[in-house]
Amino acid sequence: MAILKHWWWKILTVLILMYVFIAGLMSPVPKLPILHEAIRNTFFHPPLWIAMMSMLLGSAIFSIRYLRKGRLDDDLIAVELANTALLFGVLGCITGSVWAYFAWGDLWPNDPKTNGVAVGMLLYLAYFVLRGSFEDDLRRGRISAVYNIFAFAVFIPLILILPRLTDSLHPGNGGNPGFNQYDADSSIKRIIRPAFVGFTLLGFWITQLRVRLRRLESELDEQNEVKKPISQSTELPN
């Protein structure tokens, strides 16, 4: 029972994603013009972006917590959430490029939303570069936390607001119909909704593992620092 208490959401994540991958690749889908079988990417591309934005939101929240309380562990969680979000962002770009190629004939069309995503990804790459510029933990945490909050505040308008103000190939933007007209079929809804949950839970799971690894590395570094003076003091003079 103790194992189920701590692992239930991880078991649920595995079951949901197994269902999404099997059903997403094998179940019948609506036959729509242009999209055809490429509509199956609906089960992977949008959920990856939703998971990415959830990770970025969590990262910004923990950066705010760090600025309020000054706990280094909050800064650690913030940066690892951003790391996981960047991974999901790369996967989202790959699945989006494949989808764009089959739907629009171009791996990276000149589209406001795809360009906004590229700028947003560069913003977060700069966040990691900024963190590597400081050796002092407190200074690195404070400055990068402020930047992280700023990056999130810029990233969301780049991919959710600005594309709606101009012409865009993406559904729901620039006068194009939203996905609510494409996914009216129950065969889409019963897979894409669990996919949103499954990929988001997977992101938090990956982040949890990374945070634990970083904590272990930090503990080992502290133990080595303590052992160094002891070993040096026991050395006999020549």
Q: How confident is the model at residue 27 (pLDDT cuts 50, 70, 90)?
A: confident
Condensed to tens digits (0 to 9), the pLDDT of residues 202-214 reads 999 999 999 999 9
Condensed to tens digits (0 to 9), the pLDDT of residues 121-150 reads 999 999 999 998 888 888 899 999 999 999
CA dist 105 and 36 (Å) reads: 14
Domain chopping of the chain, boundaries: 44-216
Q: Cα dihedral angle (185, 191, 196, 200), rounded to 10 degrees?
A: 180
Q: Is 22 exposed, middle or buried (0-12, 13-18, 19+ CB in 10 A)?
A: exposed
Q: Give 62 or 106, the one with higher predicted confidence.
A: 62
CA dist 148 and 126 (Å) reads: 10
